[in-house]
Amino acid sequence: MPIYRRGIMEPKDDAHWSEHAGRAEPEFRGGLRAGAASWTSDGNPHGMPFAGLSARERELGYQYLSFTPSIYLVAHVDYVRVVRYLPLGPAQTRVSAQWLVAPESLSQPGFDIQPAVEFVTQVMSEDAAVCELVQQGLGCQAHQAGVLMPEEYDVYKFQDWVRSELAR
């Protein structure tokens, strides 16, 4: 995701967004890297693109939907990824992912979702390794709370939700 390389999650996270408002490059507006049509290792869709997508939805290439507390969906042009988090204790979580495709994709000759699965698995493994390091660090020093980066507003929203549920 080119925009992530800039240390932001969405264009609105850029303090100087107005300077880039007219720029079409993915590092300024979000979306997939130039030339990519799906979130796969080669950037190509490997299933049948979903019907009814607008030109902007096809160009962006994905849409995230979060369901607090433990599920998020990522809709791509050719597949939907469902990711679930199941806490197993204070320092352990099971993560599972499913890939959903249009029925037409399953009957397509040569259909292979593996480039999407491999790419997403690599990214999720890298993310998990970072999370494991953070978790180790939490046990190394006495503190009451860590510091969130501005880009971690979804983490803050989740923590705020947990606090409100615990207060009930």
How do residues 88-99 score in pLDDT, each as one tens digit? 988 889 999 999
Task: Specify if 20 maps to a domain.
Answer: no
**pLDDT per residue over 72-86, tens digit each?**
998 999 999 999 999
- Domain hosting 45: range is 31-167
In a domain, 68, yes or no: yes
- How many domains does the structure of the chain reveal? 1
Helix (H) / strand (E) containing 18: helix 17-20
What local confidence, expressed as pLDDT, does residue 86 receive?
93
What pLDDT was estimated at residue 65? 85
Residue 6 lies in a domain: no
In a domain, 78, yes or no: yes
Domain membership of residue 8 (yes or no) is: no
Instruction: Identify the pLDDT of residue 3.
Output: 46
What's the token pair of residue 40?
């796969």
Residue 34 · residue 5 · CB < 8 Å:
no
135 assigned to some structural domain: yes
pLDDT at residue number 2 = 44
CA-CA distance, 84 to 67, in Å (whole number)? Answer: 10
CATH number at residue 158: 3.90.380.10
The CA-based angle 162-62-25, given to 5 degrees, is: 115
Mean pLDDT in each 10-residue stretch from start to end of the chain (168 residues)?
55 66 62 74 85 84 82 91 91 91 90 89 88 78 69 81 91
Q: Is 161 a member of any domain?
A: yes
Within a domain: 127:
yes
Give the list of residues 6+ apart from residue 34 with CB closer than 8 angstroms, or none.
2, 25, 26
